[in-house]
Structure 1
């Protein structure tokens, strides 16, 4: 499952990019959304990495 973590930000970025295109907004106007996607993805990966580490080393 860990090897598929790169799909989450790619999928979210694609959805955000399509949203920007549909509403005739530029990438520059939607840059903050991409930053939020990256931050969310990093936080999610860090959480799951921490949970994996705790479960792997405490058992």
Structure 2
């Protein structure tokens, strides 16, 4: 599961982009959503890295 975690922000950004295009919202107005997606994905990745360090799993 950890190997494919990089897909989380890619799929979420793609979904957000498609949502914006469907409703005719300019990308500049939807930029905040991309930032939220990247911050959330970074937090999830950080959590998993922390858990791996705490449990000493390789």
> Which residue of structure 2 aligns with residue 42 of structure 1?
42
How many residues align? The count is 57
Cα deviation, residue 4, structure 1: 1.4
**TM, length-normalised to structure 1:** 0.90
- Following superposition, which runs of at least 4 residues in structure 1 exceed 2 angstroms of deviation? none
Provide the rounded CA distance (Å) in 2 between the counterparts of 1:38 and 1:18: 16
Structure 2 residue matching 1:26: 3-state secondary structure: coil
Q: Gapped runs of 5+ residues in structure 2? A: none
Q: Gapped runs of 5+ residues in structure 1? A: none
CA RMSD of aligned residues (A): 1.1
**TM, length-normalised to structure 2:** 0.91
